[in-house]
Structure 1
Amino acid sequence: MTDLTTPKPSSTAPRRQFLKNSLALTAASSVPGFAFAQPKTLRIGYITALSGPRAPFGVADQWHLAKLRERLKNGLDIGGQKIPVEILLRDNQSDPNRSTQVASELVLREKVDLMLVQDGDASTPAGQLCDVHGIPMVSTMSPWQAFLFARNGKVSKGFPFSFHFFWGADDVVKTFVSLWDSVKTNRAVGTLYIDNPPGAAFADPLMGMPPVLSKAGYRESNGGFFKVATDDFSNQITGFKKADAHIVSGFMYESHFATFWKQAQQQGFKPEICTVAGAFLFPSALKALGAAGNGMSTEVWWSPSFPYKSSLSGQSAAEFAAEWEKDTGNQWTQPLGYAHALWEVGLHALKTASNPFDRKAVRDAIQNTTLETLVGRVDFKGSPIKSVAKTALAGGQWRRTAAGAKSPYELTVVNNALAPGLPLGGRLELLSQLS
């Protein structure tokens, strides 16, 4: 009769070998380049605004994602192995509540490995969720102050899993002041701000527009905050006329400025300079203004004239913009560069992490990123602001093009005070000189 309680001597060696092989397999699977028998799929959540007031910021997303999906159709090359990638696109409809909803869906139900947030207004709800649940996140297209301070973050500490790259509201104001210093005005500035996180960042009394204007010797006539649905700016215009404001500035979207400018003309308010953050980023804003759009000035995040290349495709800024215009028949827009750079940073983190499926490893890879992108250097590793990488910014003015040109207006870089490496195309001119 066989004794079932006593193991056969020959059984121990195979068991030891099995355990040894299992440990080796586990260790090897964490090393980049190890060939998984059946690779898991990396899931990347992508939040943008395809509809609502911020839709112009996401107008190129479908085009861009089609290019990315084609590039990634055979997987992302990590350590010599092609890892499948799934992109989960969500439209936040330019609504804070919707942003919370789609972020929750991606984090809790879809359990994404990486979150990319193109719409800056969604960085707060998405960042809060990602930090709580330990999911690495990168966002862009909102002043870094809105990303950091809307959640009571600290410059010296940052956040556990959420990161952001963009310029700051203070950089915009410094650029604006440098623009205005190049011409003669009475240094009176009328300002108004949307009541949202970016608007709050621009209006911040300590780090936004007011202290920079005061320090530079400009007098601010503050028209205050207005709601996104506002369509009457008569009170602000009356205040600006009373202050004899030669300059109009602040933060608003193109639809708001179109309404404001029409009412300003009706009330006989004719400033010499209109330099408004957010309002003149897109060619559509100038088309809506018609002839009145000539000479509007703005911050320039990115343009085909910038001397940068994509780390993904090797394309120059000019080549990338030309591809968009050829494929769509539409003029280039500034968010084109940042939407692309967001993927450059995200995919770089997955490729350089010790394990792309280990969320802490991906977080660490983002934290240690210094990457040359289509918008310039994105440097989290060397940044004095934790969780934030500041990017280049210039000042520009929209100029009417010659008859027969493919676009009625072209954005010209006219100030590079904060980014001397960016080429200039002209100098700022007063509206009265262009009319």
Structure 2
Amino acid sequence: MTDQHRLLNTSTTRINRRTLLKGAGAAGVASAANFPLVNVARAASNTLKIGWVGCLSGVRAPFAEPDSWVHERIKAYLKDGLKIGGKNYAVEFVIKDNQSDPNRSSVVASELVLREKCDLILIEDGDAAIPVGELADARGIPTLSTMVPWQGWMFPRKSTPDKGFPYSFHFFWGADDVVKNFVGMWQSVETNKKVGTLYIDNPPGTAFSDAKLGLPGGIKQAGFQELSAGLFQIATDDFSNQVSAFKNGGVDIVSGFTYGNHWVTLWNQAAQAGFKTQICTVAAAFLFPSALNALGDRGDGMSTEVWWTPAYPFKSSLTGQTAAELAAEWEKTTGKQWTQPIGYAHALWEAGIAALRNSDPKDKNSLRDAIAGLDIETIVGPVKFKGSPIKNVAVTSLSGGQWRKAKSGKSKYELLIVHNGTAPFIPKQAELALLSKLA
């Protein structure tokens, strides 16, 4: 390969992953993908090839905003190679953009597994994790993914917590952890306990809407009443029906799973319709400062799950940087406010490199076993596959937060931890405030 750190050029090729995997046979895969048969059990070499795929462009690009920045730091960290068992390996990076497109993810899967024959594949996008994981499992390539609730990673692939997968591993929190934090925040204030919900029709959205493990079950169990507007397509730009349903239902709380652009549209339409509520706690929508800034003064008080903040009391296993130091470096070098995915973008490489170091990295089974045995502390906290009750999954920490107008002029809003019931080691910074109290 002429460029070890190349980025993927735009491609118009489309491959259906069902066709790609039909029969899971070598001939079927080669025929569907138009690739020659390859021998994945390659001869040992002095170079480790690490594939990475994420949504560098497209509708989910805000989730990947820090990725290129993190990649440059990881490349610098590994510039002299990776020493494992007395041997020094050069490290080759194969960075792929799935363009936030499920079809593109299938193309990327074939490129990383069949053409590039990566030793390890790191996945930072839920839609990519499914087709890449399926093909990698069929061909025996260890994969490690993050940034989608583990239910949204496992259940669409028809597996269960006791079964797992041959070579696919995932670390993140679960939709049930979000429910506990959301309900914990709501229980700290007085409302009519009516919750209006809506969800994107995609893997994480369906995980959140799951009747048992998602929001509906948690809402009911906690004594709240759900008024569900159901699933909506990711391209939706009109939420007038949902707003009308919530207004007519007299809900005090709006929740569910949307992206920031969806919420900006919905909240503007809510203002036009005269709909006011006491709490807005929506997964994904309020992860990024940009979404709050787009709301202007009406962003004050939005509440969310918190994956990671500079307040988290953890350090990088690679650099020794604290969460606060990593966030400060981002702000200094980019001029932008820190964003939650920074932590997981960095931790994915921490876990991947730790697994490589604990294995014979050119032996796929040794590397698989090393991932399964991981028990390390990263910039986002513990990543523990060893002994996990959910096979192939390491469940990470989560808390609840609320965006409030910043006291300093550095940023318009700051994210404060208002609930730490599922992770008491994360310091609480404020109490949840009703929107009517902030008006």
* 1:356-391 residue CA offsets vs partner (Å, 9 max, x unmatched): 100111000000110110000000012100010000
Q: In the alignment, residue 304 of structure 1 is paired with which amino acid?
A: P
| 1:47 and 2:53 are equivalent in the alignment | yes
Equivalent position amino acid for 1:98 in 2: R
Tell me which residue corresponds to 2:207.
201
Deviation at 1:153, TM superposition (A): 0.8
Give the Å deviation of 1:120.
Answer: 2.0
Shift of 1:206: 1.9
User: Match for 2:433 among 404, 410, 429?
Assistant: 429
The answer to whether the 8 Å contact 1:116/1:137 transfers is: yes
Report the secondary structure of 2:157's partner residue. Answer: coil
- RMSD, matched Cα: 0.9
How far apart are residue 81 of structure 1 and its match? 2.9
Shift of residue 125 of structure 1?
0.7
Q: In 1, Cα distance between the equivalents of 2:252 and 2:89?
A: 57
4+ runs deviating over 3 angstroms: none
Summarize deviations over 1:307-349 as a string: whole Å, max 9, x none. 0010000111001111111111111111000011100110011
SS in 2 for 1:385: coil
Aligned partner letter, 2:414: E
1:19 maps to which residue?
A: none
What is the correspondence of 1:232-247 to structure 2 with a 5 Å cutoff?
Answer: 232-247=238-253
The answer for the alignment partner of 1:172 in structure 2 is 178
Q: Does 1:219 align with 2:225?
A: yes
User: Could you give the per-residue CA deviations for residues 408-434 of structure 1, whole angstroms, max 9, x where no partner exists?
Assistant: 111000100100100011010001111
Checking the alignment, whether the CA contact within 8 Å between 2:126 and 2:203 is kept in structure 1 is no
Return the alpha-carbon distance in structure 2 between the equivalents of residues 87 and 128 of structure 1.
Answer: 21
SS at match of 2:295: helix
- Cross-structure match for 2:101: 95
The 2-side partners of 1:180 and 1:302 are apart by: 21
Write the deviation string for residues 188-215 of structure 1: whole angstroms up to 9, x where unpaired. 0000000000000000112111111001
Deviations 1:216-271 (A, max 9, x none): 01100000110011011111111111110000000000000000000011001101
Counterpart amino acid of 1:347? I
In structure 2, the partner of 1:348 is 354
Under a length normalisation based on structure 1, what TM-score does the superposition of the two structures give? Answer: 0.90
> Structure 1: 5+ residue runs without aligned partners?
1-37
2:21 maps to what in 1? Answer: none
Q: Does 1:415 align with 2:424?
A: no
Matching residue of 1:271: 277
Q: Corresponding residue for 1:367?
A: 372
Alpha-carbon displacement from aligned partner over 1:161-207 (angstroms, at most 9, x marks no partner): 00000000011011000000000000000000000000000001121
- Using structure 2 for the length normalisation, give the TM-score: 0.89
Q: CA deviation at 1:122?
A: 1.1
- Distance in 2, Cα, partners of 1:151 & 1:188: 33
Identity score, percent: 59
Partners of 1:324 and 1:87 in 2: CA distance: 22
| Match among 169, 178, 192 for residue 163 of structure 1 | 169
- Distance in 1 (CA, whole Å) between partners of 2:356 and 2:130 is 23
Whether 1:401 and 2:409 are equivalent positions in the alignment is no
Aligned to 2:87: 81
Q: Distance in 1 between matches of 2:233 and 2:293?
A: 24
- 1:83: Cα distance to partner? 0.7
Distance in 1 separating the partners of 2:229 and 2:121: 37
- Give the match for residue 258 of structure 1: 264
* Structure 2 counterpart SS, 1:87: strand
CA distance in 1, matches of 2:406, 2:346: 28
Task: Tell me what 1:57 maps to.
Answer: 63
Displacement of 1:40: 2.1
The corresponding residue for 2:384 is 379
- The 1-side partners of 2:110 and 2:238 are apart by 35
Checking the alignment, whether the CA contact within 8 Å between 1:396 and 1:412 is kept in structure 2 is yes
Is contact 1:52–1:95 with CA below 8 Å preserved after alignment?
A: yes
- Distance of 1:77 and 1:292 partners within structure 2: 51
Q: 1:144, 1:164 within 8 Å by CA — same for their partners in 2? A: yes
What is the CA–CA distance in structure 1 between the aligned matches of 2:430 and 2:217, rounded to whole Å? 28
Instruction: Give the secondary-structure state (helix, strand or coil) at the position aligned to 1:414.
Output: strand
Give SS of 1:377's match.
strand
Structure showing greater radius of gyration is 1
Gaps of 5+ in 2: 1-43
Distance 1:182 1:277 in 2: 19
CA contact (8 A) 1:39 1:84 kept: no
Deviations 1:47-83 (A, max 9, x none): 0111111100101111111111111111012123321
1:339/1:412 Cα in 2 relative to 1: closer, same or farther (>3 Å)? same
| Contact preservation (8 Å) 2:46, 2:88 | no
Please state whether the residue corresponding to 1:139 is helix, strand or coil: strand
Alpha-carbon distance in 1 for matches of 2:255, 2:58: 23
